[in-house]
Amino acid sequence: MQFPSPVSVSWIAEFIQAKLVGNSDGQATGINEIHKVEKGDLVFVDHPKYYDKCLNSAASFIIINKETSVPEGKALLIVDDPFEAYCKIVNHYRPFAPATKMISDSASIGAGSFIYPGAYVGHQVQIGKNCIIYPGACIMDHCILGDRVVIQAGTIIGSDAFYYNSKKERETWYKRMPSCGRVVIEDDVEIGSGCTIDRGVSHDTKIGKGTKMDNLIHIGHDTVVGKNCLFAANVVIAGVVTIEDGVTLWGQVIINKTLTIGENAVLLGRTGVGTDLPGNKTYWGAPAQDAGMQRRELVWIKRIPELWEKVMGK
């Protein structure tokens, strides 16, 4: 999430009651989680596993629960509970705002766009020109739709990320991280009925220009889908996945988190993906493999009884 304008790190330290060490004159431009952090961002870390990764990331300002050396040019904000400090900042800049109308007064809707009765358009939503939003669709707060976008009935754009801070020493093991990211949908995208596209935790979930999606598809938080992709029904994509341009996913494909699918790849129905896949190839199976190889293996598996009988007959 980008702040409306740069924020003094000294003010942030005072706001979350943190000890400020390092660059006390800095200006934070946004707040992000570790997977999407950029220069100028504020990030938090509360687990030794991620200390080094966070300290050496692009982040300029780090909320941390440990006294340590400060990387050059950066600032540390030391608190007992970095997660709660992070939540306090997010809730300050993106407070809960109840809806009183089906279409918020703060939403911007372009010329020629039609919103069916029963569709919901939230606060600060931007919808481009000549879009169609069908009944029961929900475009949640701060999401952005380009021109000529079609959202079919019952689809939810911008539901909260399925993303939790986990601490097993607490009575409640999992605490939800407030989602302050957005969903950004580019021009000429069509999304079928009953789909869910989660907003980013603190960055954006993006759907590229010209991409078409069938019904009952789930896209996880912070996932980036390229241009001119084609997804059939029941595809499930976890968080922080990169789908490059021109990828085709057929029915019931499942893709694990933080992976990359290369451009123009084709994944046949019910393929399960657990590793990055290079582009310009066709895949099938679980785990995903080259489809031609999978077919040849199946042919040989079917011949096993015949071969066994020949061997035993001798």
CB 243 within 8 A of CB 228: no
3 state SS of 55: helix
The question of whether 221 is a catalytic residue gets the answer: yes
As given in the structure block, the two tokens for residue 42 are 């504020």
Query: What is the C-alpha separation between 259 and 254, in angstroms, rounded?
Result: 11
As given in the structure block, the two tokens for residue 246 are 């021109």
Residue 233's nearest CA partner among 171, 152, 308, 293 is: 152
As given in the structure block, the two tokens for residue 208 are 């590229």
Q: What is the dihedral of CA 187, 192, 195, 198, to 10 degrees?
A: 0
Residue with tokens 């919103």: 115
3 state SS of 120: strand
Residue 229's nearest CA partner among 216, 210, 215, 214 is: 210
Query: Which residue is catalytic, options 35, 142, 218, 221?
Result: 221
Residue 197's nearest CA partner among 161, 164, 233 is: 161
Residues assigned a catalytic role: 221
